[in-house]
Structure 1
Amino acid sequence: MERKRAKKDLESAADSPLSKHLRLLVVLSKVENLPAMITFVQLLQPNNESPKSALQISDENSELDTTKVIKPMNVHVLRFVELTQRMSAVMKFNEISETILHDPIMNMFSALSQVSSVKVDAKLSVAAQKEFCQEIIDKVQDADINLVIIPWSGAGEIVDTPIENKDHAPREKKSTSPQVAGFVQDVFNAATVYANVGVFVDRGFGSTDNTRALPNPSGYLNIFIPFFGGADDREALTFAFRLLEYPNVNVTVVRVIKSEKPTDNDVTLLKSDVQSETSNVDDEKDRPPLNRQISTITISEAVANKENEEDESFLETHLKSKSGYPAQNARISYQEVSSYTPIQTAVERAKEVVNRKDLVVVGRSRHSHVNERHHHYEFGELIKNLGNYGNDTHKSLGYVSEAFLVGGVMASLLVLQAKQTK
């Protein structure tokens, strides 16, 4: 009996998201993003002291091969330095040489590979901003990357401002610069042909009392995932399952099902209810266009049914079936709620689970025809009440992401878009 159960557990582990080798590309161009990204990468590669997980069989005497399925993670770091018109070929060569020697981003990730099981390959690229997206795509193809992570710069620049231009006060991050928004949209659109893409919005990830560190025995990292459906949301769940390999991570999944009638779970977020970093958008010109006709967003019943079937199959395999992975893990909870206001209900549920040091993982929902229709109207009403996070934020990160940014959830945010399917 024990051998049969062990074999079944091992087969379940082999089919789990963790059985797929992670080849990660981290795009870093600003030193301020370094602490969160170091924490983020370490969290993806569990240390050797992690307790035995669902991927390890407890019977040490079993003749079954109980080798842990997860493999050492490969991390590729792409560090951008902007090529200006004044920079000659000789200056470009010297810039690369000097930066490789003294750059904190390059040095920190090189040090990480020496003190952990993470394999790091750091590359410096001096290029014009318009070439950044293609540089990422080239790296994804060359290294067979399956996940790209880009830190969100918000109102700042894509890369660090040159030293000679840093004598002015820092710009408040109350909006989204068109350059950042355009860059993120380009990467989402182009790189997802080859890999999954995530944008990370750091709001104090892993920090406790102004100190940034990985979770310790006295403090857990809580991760919240709202599930509305679609390929992007399924990818968000798959990513969260991997984080369960770290011993002090708790994962809460709330599936919010759109109700056609009001329910007891409905929420209307108002300005007085939140403490957010939203911009002051009293002027109509600062608001996104809300007057599009919802009737123009149409989907076929066949597409909706197929999407729902894929969601149900995924949830049944990984969360609803108690014998599947990771449903048997005590550190993951799953619940379903119906709501006429699904986005706002998800935001309110997240406030009960996560704080500034924690993480919310959401799908960008660009692959979900059903969600695009439902979210469009509710997002418009939400922005009327709360204001926006920047005129181009929802275009870059999606409706759900901006709702979490303006809705008073203080945790960091990871926005995932799944690799495109043919």
Structure 2
Amino acid sequence: MRTQVAIIGAGPAGLFLGHLLARAGIDAVVLERRTRDYVEGRVRAGVLEQGTVALMAELGLDARLRDEGLVHTGTNIGYDGEIFRVDMAALTGGSAVTVYGQQEVMRDLFDAAEERGVRIVFEAEDLVLEDIAGSSPSVRYVRHGEAHHLACDYVAACDGFHGVGRGAIPADVLKVFERVYPFGWLGILAEVPPVNHELIYANHERGFALASMRSPSRSRYYVQVGLDERIEDWSDDRFWDELALRLGPQAAAGLVRGPSFEKSIAPLRSFVAEPMRYGALFLAGDAAHIVPPTGAKGMNLAVSDVRILAEALVRHYRDRDPAGLDGYSARALARVWKAERFSWWFTGLTHRFPDMDPFARRMQVAELAYIRGSQAAQTVLAENYVGLPLA
């Protein structure tokens, strides 16, 4: 079998790229080692930047998003028991974010794939990339015990942090930059109304907390925990008590408790791999970078990567102009590093670090107080939160 672009991974990066290429008439095949149910069922982020929302509208995939998405024109930050609001729309000329779970985004992408000509091969296992630095790149894989060979012009590795794509770049070429944080997020999903109609990021002396939601009747909450914590040690009652304490009395007064139906602990890291191109191989999404979830940038960065890559591939096939492909890595990384900076800064601003001494804690509180009283500081936060434009 032959195609122009082999896309590895049917997560957000891979499927958005598949839709963009299908719209442009570029032949592509998406290879996914899991089933659709598995990919669609993964609990992930739920805050979409304005650029991601705009792309879904551009692709005609926003019908449910317009009906069910929760538009947030501001966000809230709490410290020392008090909460202040950052009016993102007022500070950025009307920009906003939309709360709409990644599971819902994946459902929209999958539902439209067949009619849009997006070819997806599920349960494609044991993937091997061949000749990606040469003139005849290809992907070998096994499906249901049968070996397959997919010849192509280019390979887009959208296969996540643990995928095969990044590992195909020689060690003497690949540069890795990483910061592993000494804590994680314990998160729950519960069928209870959110404590607030917008997100609340809370800085407390006991650690960070986040009040989020998936719908007007489903809440997503997080508390910062040590990496040695176990889910089994966190009953629902213990979680609700800790969340209420960290959110502070103002927010906790409206907290509705209920049984959780999903509970997990996620470690935090910042990670970037350079370059994002090697020969015929292009990295996109988590294959190239990871951000702590504090700034809600993970899926949005994946989307910006494939927007840049799709534009470059269209330019190559339509105009025979390789400039976009040659410049892909530098252009994508320019935005990646800005998002990494914001997520790193916002994490440092809102979390309690194990080695934080009284001076460092005072500096953290002083910066929060400065942001609260400064329109300029809030504008910087707001324009990063709603999403920086593509360069």
TM-score bracket relative to the smaller structure: under 0.3
TM-score, normalised by the number of residues in structure 2: 0.23
Give the structure with the higher percent strand.
2
